[in-house]
Structure 1
Amino acid sequence: MKHALLLASALLLVIALPWEARTNSSGAPAGRSGGPPENGNTCNSSGCHFGSAVNSGGGSITVTGPKTYSPGQAVALQITVAQEGAQRIGFEVSAVEDAGGTHAGSWNLVDSGTRFASNNPAYVTHAGAPPGMSSRTFNVEWVPPSSSVGTVLLYIAGNAANGNGGATGDNIYTATYPLAESGTSIDQDPVPSHFALTGLFPNPARQQTSVSVHLPEAAAVRVRVLDMLGREVKALATGSLSAGAHDIALAVGALPAGTYLVSAETARGKLATRTLLVAR
């Protein structure tokens, strides 16, 4: 099944002090993906990229790939970090057992633009951060354990850096992408015949909900959250997404409890809306 998870998000592209710019632009340190093994830490937590709260910018993380896995069978995924006006893009990802909170499986390096963070095979990060990029896609491949571990969560952090050579002004984003265990081989969904926003899960939501968007053709998508007076309280931009089904991770932890409208719109003006309940 081909899906994509996008969330107002971007992590660790590194451009802090001049020395850190030379070091971290070639990859984030291990333990910055925002997962339980690192107590939720990102490059924002460590102080190498800060200036705004995590997930407060208008960028996004999009994960395109299956939503299920079979033990021992490699899973190919694409992780896209995007933010309008960004100058450099970086990321880090790890896989964690939902039940146990420990790292699960292993990673194959299939993209020359990626490497293991700090030579730690539990984390994959960018292998370079070329200037002048406001969107970048990384190909990764996760290999599940051969034995059953249940649902696995991919913890992803992305950084949309402003390229000022310092630690401030960069936007850090995080996303969680679930992979449910399946006993069958993984197949991709057929290309949808029409644009649709098919659902929000979970709903009600407390911290994050996934917005399922179906695209019959490649398109950029803008996701907006409106209060019941029609005022925009949050907006995300994805950059161009491929045709298919995409799960967009939407952070709602900063919103007051209440009822909201979530809309998704393409550049061609196609619009779809759903109602979201935010609980506290």
Structure 2
Amino acid sequence: MFFAAIQHSIKKALPGLLAIGCLIVFPASLLMNQAGAPAMRTGAPGDGDGTPGNSGSCADAGCHNTYPVNSGIGSVTIDAPAEFLAGVPLEFMVSVEDTSRFRFGFQTTIKTAAAENVGTFELIDSNTRFATGNSNYVTHTLANSNAQWTVRWTPPAELTEDVTIYAGGNAADGRFTPASDYTYETEVLLQFAQPSGIDDQDDPASSPRLEAFPNPASSIVSLVFESGQENDARLQVFDLLGKIVYEAPSGPIASGQTIDVNVTNFPAGVYIGKLIVGTRSISTTFSVVK
């Protein structure tokens, strides 16, 4: 009722205000979360206690709670790699889509199965920021027509379990009130990948290894396969979004064999080299600098 009354008054006064060249300034309280959502609004376990006003969702009491979560025609999606390597940064993208709305916002976090926040987020552009007072949550800097955000996350070097990416999205109609806004939530499992893919019972001294040099590289990176025997294998190189940026033909690879990869046209960043040997995989990371 409060927001409706203000909107009605503004609409009635608007022609006269424009006629005399007045500048209309909306109070910050009406803009709601234009500059990012408060922390713990992803719908993840532990983000709220279920009480009114503390549900852990963007559809919380006093916020965008006109409609239930995921009741609109849109969605929020997470585009992320299927696996992560401990201590190695990765990037994922959060997108909000709703053709009935034109202003969008989001928030994301990553948690373990015990509902504990894990890892470190890094802001890589001006479209994202940390939620106020809590760097375990990344949100938008300004709600606008941009509906995609890229987030970089680094897992702890000692992490050895799967984690889950949680994301909440908001699709607004731009009326400077949370009424009639839709909220969406989703989650994606991010699986822990063994650095070598070798069974713990294997003898480490005889286990295959993959090494990269020079590291960092700017033109050519050499990936060296070390093993006690020749193996049929396939080499792939991934970026931090899990996209294959290079793939060598499958075939026999002898121990000590070097595969040179031209990274001249690779954007600067961290890459993962993966050698698939039978049902196992051997991974290494390297950086490209410009």
- TM-score, normalised to structure 2's length? 0.55
Q: Deviations over 1:151-187 (max 9, x none)?
A: 1111110000111111210000000111000024983
User: Aligned runs of 1:12-27 on 2, under 5 Å?
Assistant: 18-22=27-31, 24-27=33-36
Alignment pair present for 1:94 and 2:94: no
Name structure 2 gaps, 5 residues minimum: 1-25, 49-54, 197-236, 246-290
Residue 117 of structure 2 corresponds to: 103
Residue 254 of structure 1 corresponds to: none
Question: How far apart in 2 are the matches of 1:189 and 1:139?
Answer: 14
User: How far off its partner does 1:148 sit?
Assistant: 2.2
User: Aligned runs of 1:236-255 on 2, under 5 Å?
Assistant: none
- Residues 32 and 178 of structure 2 are in contact (CA less than 8 Å); yes or no, is this contact kept in structure 1? no
Q: Which amino acid aligns with 2:109?
A: S
Distance change (3 Å), C-alpha of 1:25 and 1:189: closer
Residue 73 of structure 1 corresponds to: 88
Alignment pair present for 1:125 and 2:139: yes
Question: How far apart in 2 are the matches of 1:153 and 1:46?
Answer: 26
Q: Which amino acid aligns with 1:89?
A: F
Question: How far apart in 2 are the matches of 1:136 and 1:115?
Answer: 15
User: Aligned runs of 1:2-41 on 2, under 5 Å?
Assistant: 18-22=27-31, 24-39=33-48, 41=56
Distance change (3 Å), C-alpha of 1:107 and 1:19: same
User: How far off its partner does 1:190 sit?
Assistant: 5.2
Residue 153 of structure 2 corresponds to: 142
Partner-residue secondary structure (3-state), 2:126: coil
2:126 corresponds, among 103, 108, 112, to: 112
User: How far off its partner does 1:189 sit?
Assistant: 5.2
Give the aligned CA root-mean-square deviation in angstroms: 2.3
Alignment pair present for 1:175 and 2:186: yes
Name structure 1 gaps, 5 residues minimum: 1-16, 192-280
- Residues 155 and 175 of structure 1 are in contact (CA less than 8 Å); yes or no, is this contact kept in structure 2? yes
Q: Deviations over 1:245-265 (max 9, x none)?
A: xxxxxxxxxxxxxxxxxxxxx
- Residues 95 and 154 of structure 1 are in contact (CA less than 8 Å); yes or no, is this contact kept in structure 2? yes
User: How far off its partner does 1:82 sit?
Assistant: 1.1
- Residues 31 and 176 of structure 2 are in contact (CA less than 8 Å); yes or no, is this contact kept in structure 1? no
Distance change (3 Å), C-alpha of 1:172 and 1:124: same
Q: Which amino acid aligns with 1:140?
A: V
User: Mean Cα displacement is larger for which, 74-83 or 22-31?
Assistant: 22-31
User: How far off its partner does 1:127 sit?
Assistant: 0.5
Partner-residue secondary structure (3-state), 1:174: strand
- Quick one: percent identity of the two aligned structures? 33
Residue 243 of structure 1 corresponds to: none
Q: Deviations over 1:257-278 (max 9, x none)?
A: xxxxxxxxxxxxxxxxxxxxxx
- TM-score, normalised to structure 1's length? 0.57
Question: How far apart in 2 are the matches of 1:114 and 1:82?
Answer: 18
Distance change (3 Å), C-alpha of 1:108 and 1:57: same
Partner-residue secondary structure (3-state), 2:147: strand
Question: How far apart in 1 are the matches of 2:243 and 2:128?
Answer: 27
Q: How many pairs align?
A: 172
- Residues 78 and 167 of structure 2 are in contact (CA less than 8 Å); yes or no, is this contact kept in structure 1? no
- Residues 113 and 138 of structure 1 are in contact (CA less than 8 Å); yes or no, is this contact kept in structure 2? yes
Q: Which has the higher contact order (CA 8 A, sep 6+)?
A: 1
Higher strand share: 1
- Residues 90 and 158 of structure 1 are in contact (CA less than 8 Å); yes or no, is this contact kept in structure 2? yes
Alignment pair present for 1:62 and 2:62: no
Alignment pair present for 1:156 and 2:167: yes
Residue 67 of structure 2 corresponds to: 52
Residue 85 of structure 1 corresponds to: 100
Question: How far apart in 1 are the matches of 2:97 and 2:65?
Answer: 17
User: How far off its partner does 1:62 sit?
Assistant: 2.1
User: How far off its partner does 1:23 sit?
Assistant: 5.3
- Residues 71 and 145 of structure 1 are in contact (CA less than 8 Å); yes or no, is this contact kept in structure 2? yes
Once superposed, which parts of structure 1, at least 4 consecutive aligned residues long, lie more than 6 Å away? Answer: none
